[in-house]
Amino acid sequence: MKRFVSFFLTVLTALNLNAQTPKYLDNNAPMEERIEDALSRMTLHEKISMLHAQSKFTSAGVPRLGIRQLNMDDGPHGCREELEWNTWSPAKWTNDYVVAFPSLTCLAATWNPDMSALYGNAISEEFAFRGKDVLLGPGVNMARTPLNGRAFEYMGEDPVLASEMVVPYIQHVQQNGVACCLKHFVLNDQETDRFRVNVNVSERALREIYLRPFEMAVKKAKTWSMMGSYNLWQNVHCCHNDALLNGILKKEWGWDGALVSDWGGTTNTQEAIYGGLDIEMGTYTDGKLRESEFTYDDYYLAKPFEQLVKDGKVPMSVLDEKVRRVLRLIFRTAMNPKKVIGNQCSEAHYEVCRQIGEEGIVLLKNEKLLPLEPAAVQGKRILVVGENATRSLTQGGGSSELKTLRDISPLEAIQQMYAGCTVMHAQGYVSGRAVYDRVDRINADENKRLHDEAVRMAREADFVIYVGGLNKNHGQDCENGDREGYNLSFGQNELIADLAAVQKNIVVVTFGGNPYAMPWLRKVPALLHCWYLGSEAGSALAGVLSGKVNPSGKLPVTFAQRLEDYSSMRFGAEGYPGTNKQVHYKEGIFMGYRWFDLPKAAQQNFLKSEHAQDLTAVGQPLFPFGFGLSYTTFRYGKPTISATGDYGWTVTVDVTNTGQRAGKEVVQLYVGRKDKSGVARPVKELKYFTKVSLQPGNTKQVNLFIRRDDLSYWDEKTHGWNIEPGTYNAYVCASSTDVRGVVSFKY
């Protein structure tokens, strides 16, 4: 009888508890009240457990309270395959195949925020379907050097372009209940010595260039989490840098998200506690390969932190502040009732992949050879040359490597598009396997044989489509190592030149996330740059080659003639990759097109004043920032400008499609100081852009907007933004060097 009464009372108690749902589980309760309620119910150990990894890609919840763990996975181009719980080895599941979306350089090259929104929605659906809460990406580190092995994961050299493209991506990921973990905060602009190098950068360059996309992602997109970078700033690791994370990110910008360390980026308990870190991941590993004999409870924010709180050496308030941020992230994602179910490898996702790839391909040169319309080349012999015509470029590259269900190669798509032709293939060169931490040795004799075979076959063809460029091997576009040089590797320069010598109808197609030298450029009539196009790479390329798609991509980076022409490369090893674990950004704000825009005399004076080691003249870029051709032509009218209340100014210009094909044009607005400035200023800086679609003969009125804040610069004397009164120029451009109209205005 006593047992029955005890059981009955237990059931009544349980029913009563269920009738009174705790506030933290009430989805209708205000977020901050839920957080405080959950926090009040947690033990010290449960709080500590939420702040560090419990596996390679998860951090703990509180099972006792029904608070779920966070499931993270690498992006930013697709959901990484499942790994074993506690190793870097694949789990060998059969249901973790995904769509590989184009690289973020390709997305940036679309100059189309609508494509970014499509990207974010589609990729988050795949993450949600796989049960993921946090997408480790996107990345907005700046393309300071063309040797950066990880630049393909980022969005170019300009903070405004990166900002405008990253905001819709984040918004459309997070509206589906998946968090973006924006990375890498901040100055992770090279892979060489990434774990150790301290970045010396002026306060002004830091604010105007490198922090700007992160700031916009916080203020406009409200990113829910962010990843600290491996490198140091002010000789403190960025994963627990008090001045950066607490001072700028959390206090100045008012950010309420959770700061996640890069894997293996945490190095010190005291700094981790007080330096702004919230979730510690991957400690005691190298972030990719090396395993650890330590347990997760040995992490800096695990037992050591817990003991300091127990001993009264760290206030509970410090711990609670971190837990609040983690709970907020969990309630926004893992416990968000509005999180989508999602889907995986749907035809809609492949369609998004193809569309972004088509819009991101940049036509760099065309002497009336493209498009190769199938009907016009019917019965001809087409030779496809190059390893990238058949090589998977969704594999390799480091943490962004993907396990795909299907990839359409360039060769396969070209064969389908030109079914009425004889399509042959010659590999042309060999590059070795996709490896992460070393460069494969290349057999010189085998490469010569492949080279000679391709040239021989080119003599017998009517057209050659060369498909090469970079790949995702170590020493190319790959995490944990930068490129070995500015030239294309594996003898490609010689191969392209020799092919062009025997076949005038040659189209060069390159893949890759970085600019490169082109000593053969004058010898080829057509050139397309494709970045990395993902699972629909072949379809996107074939669409542009055939004219089914009119190319509309524009460069998000400057293609210089020589490596030495980039401002970051003018200061010897101090400027890149650094000496004694210190790298100096002596070029300041004059990075990318801002440098190439300067008059020659100003370049020389700047180099002398900064004690540059290389004072040789800077050549004009091969292709400037914002450049890209079309199969049609566009005429710009004369721009006008008008004040827009307290907001700023509106620049209006008519754009007409003067060709025979429908096409899209990116209209770019740059602003520069007309009066003499009291500080060094770029000639002009990108402030706004829009992409317009026009039928042949049609004209559209385009409005471009300038905010008052667009005129500001970071004043190192007052440590704040400042606007100089005076006269400014607004430049309406088709690229950074193709100015179609200028109007002046006063502030």
Hey, what's the torsion of the CAs at 382, 387, 392, 394, to 10 degrees? -110
Cα(184)–Cα(399) distance, rounded to whole angstroms? 13
In Å, how far are 29, 34, 38 from 15, measured between CA atoms?
21, 22, 20
Count of beta carbons in the 10 Å neighbourhood of residue 415: 18
> 360 and 557 in contact (C-beta within 8 Å)?
no
> 32 and 24 in contact (C-beta within 8 Å)?
no
Residues in the chain: 747
- Closest Cα partner for 345 from 122, 104, 73, 169? 122
Peptide bond into 371 cis (omega under 30): yes
Return the structure tokens found at 660: 């025979």
- Closest Cα partner for 273 from 310, 311, 298, 242? 242
159-174 helix and 212-219 helix, angle to the nearest 10 degrees: 30
Rg (CA), the chain: 27
Output DSSP code: residue 28. Answer: T
The order of strands in the sheet holding 463-469 is 362-366, 526-529, 506-511, 463-469, 381-385, 422-426
For residue 35, what is the enclosing H or E element?
A: helix 31-41
Output DSSP code: residue 548. Answer: S
- Closest Cα partner for 278 from 45, 32, 50, 54? 50
Q: Assess whether 710 carries a catalytic annotation.
A: no
Q: For residue 547, give the amino acid letter.
A: G
Cα(325)–Cα(225) distance, rounded to whole angstroms? 9
347-360 helix and 113-129 helix, angle to the nearest 10 degrees: 150
Please compute, for residue 213, the number of CA atoms within 13 A of its CA located in the half-sphere on the CB side.
Answer: 33
For residue 691, the SS3 value is strand
Q: Which residues are within 8 A (CB) of 216 and not within 5 positions of it... i.e. 6 or more apart?
A: 163, 164, 166, 167
Give residue for tokens 């990719």: 288
Cα(722)–Cα(744) distance, rounded to whole angstroms? 20
Output DSSP code: residue 139. Answer: B
- Closest Cα partner for 88 from 292, 296, 302? 292
Output DSSP code: residue 621. Answer: P
Return the structure tokens found at 249: 């990110």
Of the residues 158, 262, 407, 597, only one is catalytic, namely 262
Peptide bond into 213 cis (omega under 30): no
Count of beta carbons in the 10 Å neighbourhood of residue 147: 23
Return the structure tokens found at 479: 């995490």
- Closest Cα partner for 515 from 492, 489, 487? 487
For residue 707, the SS3 value is strand
> 153 and 122 in contact (C-beta within 8 Å)?
no
Peptide bond into 186 cis (omega under 30): yes
- Closest Cα partner for 708 from 633, 634, 628, 650? 650
Residue spans of beta strands (DSSP E) within 151-206 = 179-185, 198-200
Hey, what's the torsion of the CAs at 713, 715, 720, 721, to 10 degrees? -20
Output DSSP code: residue 101. Answer: P
Q: Would you name the residues annotated as active-site residues?
A: 262
